[in-house]
Chains A and B, each alone.
Chain A
Amino acid sequence: MNRLFPVLSVVVAAMFAYAPVMIANAPYESTMGLIQKIFYFHVPVALTMFLAAFVCGIASGVFLFGRRRAADRVAVAAAELVALLGLIVLTSGPLWARKAWGIWWDWDARLTSTLVLWLMFLAYLLLRRYGGPGSERLAAGVALFGMFNVPFVYWSVEFWRTLHPKTSVLPTLQPGMRGPLWFCFAAFLGLFVLLMAARVRLERRRAELEELYLALED
């Protein structure tokens, strides 16, 4: 990973540099106009956020039941990325919706469950930060519960809203839009891998530091 890191950094940076060009040249969406261009990073970021949440849940399970410290490092890195990506999704979404449909927020299933998921992982991070020593195991439990909770949140909000009219969030995808969308998704996937690698490395170095302190105390 250490040798790949600079290479991947350059590749991802290049993809992000090229992405605006692709986005600008993508077909113009007739009903929404310019504002629809948010879609090209809003959707990939949302997908990457769910990936990160999934990674965190799995890693927490492995840490809790398999007792592997490395899994805990991956879990905290993934949780921070959920927080970051969630912030991007939850700000870009309302900005798009305000222009396209005139409302900032609509309590539909997808939006609400994304918000709840984001809150659960913020709670995870708060617990790790302020819970004191030994909060890693507790947080892993919370992450596991959060994972299992996602379908329930989605179903309950979906069901809650069936009596209300639904606004469709995604228009049917024109062929010319698929290219930039997948490109951006690949770019964000690359960014996800990079950020995870850097963050896990930070945790590993911190663990080494702790061990060194303990060893020196003897």
Chain B
Amino acid sequence: MNPFAATVWHVMRKDLLIEVRSREILYTTLFFAVSCVLVFAFGFVREGRAVEDAAAGILWIAIAFSGTLALGRAFERERHNETLRALMLAPVERPAIYLGKLLGVLALLGAVQLVVVPLVAVMFQARLFAHPLLMLGLLAAGTTGFAAVGTLFAAMLVRARSRDVLLPVLLYPITIPVIIAGVRGTAALLQAEVDLPMARAWLSMLVFFDVVFITLALWTFEPVMTE
């Protein structure tokens, strides 16, 4: 395996191993996502039925909020033991560290969504699995876009003050296109007459977003993290 891929693998494996042993971030994020869904449900359900399109919106808001929490916690762990600095001092390519962390975060968020997506489908009678591939594509591309920007920002903020509140402040404006595309794409799949071309269009926008921003993140990771 070439050194770059090896670094990515090792960083990701480290994160996943720690998570599998403690399951701290997984459980807390999962619980938070479920509470999010509940709270929003109380806002948007009237007389036992959800407002139209509410399911799509609630799903993606829950993903965004719980994602922010998971990112914060994942990097708090790094800060607490100064391990991020140790990683940066290691003679490896910096972008590989970023990719490794990104894949770790994605695995975590994927695990959370495994529970949250069926939950939303059940609670709002939303036929989220009628077109499983498209739905999966939207979720994967959207979460990747969100996590790509989030991982960079969370890593940047590890040594900053007020990092807890600054992460959402910085992250949400930048990930607005992801949220729009995710919600509208999901809504297109949940409509009475399913709009497949629309969903595919939003999916391609998400993929484009992912490509551009992962590239940008790989490019800026080193200058931003080093003095």
**Complex Cα gap A156–B209 (Å):** 11
The A119-150 residues at the B interface (CB cut-off 8 A) are 119-120, 123, 126-127, 130-132, 134-135, 137-138, 140-142, 144-146, 148-149
Q: Contact between B160 and A135 (Cβ–Cβ < 8 Å)?
A: yes
**Complex Cα gap A160–B205 (Å):** 12
Interface of A is mostly: helix
Q: Known: A132-B161, A152-B209, A159-B201. Contact between A141 and B156, CB under 8 A?
A: yes
Residue ranges of B at the interface with A (Cβ–Cβ < 8 Å): 149, 152-153, 156-157, 159-163, 166, 169-170, 173-174, 176-177, 180-181, 184, 201-202, 205, 209, 212-213, 216, 220, 223-224, 227
Q: Known: A144-B220, A146-B174, A153-B177. Contact between A132 and B205, CB under 8 A?
A: no
Q: Which of A120, A126, A144, A149 gathers most chain B CB within 10 Å? A: A149
Q: Known: A65-B223, A137-B224. Contact between A148 and B205, CB under 8 A?
A: no
Q: Contact between B223 and A131 (Cβ–Cβ < 8 Å)?
A: no
Interface of B is mostly: helix
Residue of A nearest to B223 (CB): A64
Asked if A22 is at the interface (CB within 8 A of a chain B CB), the reply is no
Q: Contact between A126 and B169 (Cβ–Cβ < 8 Å)?
A: yes
Q: Which of A123, A138, A160 gathers most chain B CB within 10 Å? A: A138
The A19-78 residues at the B interface (CB cut-off 8 A) are 64-65
Instruction: Number of A interface residues at 8 Å Cβ cutoff, please give it.
Output: 30
22 pairs, CB–CB < 8 Å, chain A vs chain B: A116-B176, A119-B173, A120-B174, A123-B169, A126-B166, A127-B160, A127-B170, A131-B162, A132-B160, A138-B156, A138-B224, A142-B170, A145-B216, A148-B213, A149-B176, A152-B177, A152-B209, A155-B177, A156-B205, A157-B180, A159-B205, A160-B180
The A153-188 residues at the B interface (CB cut-off 8 A) are 153, 155-157, 159-160
Residue of B nearest to A115 (CB): B173
Q: Contact between B220 and A64 (Cβ–Cβ < 8 Å)?
A: yes
Q: Known: A131-B157, A148-B216. Contact between A141 and B180, CB under 8 A?
A: no
**Complex Cα gap A132–B213 (Å):** 26
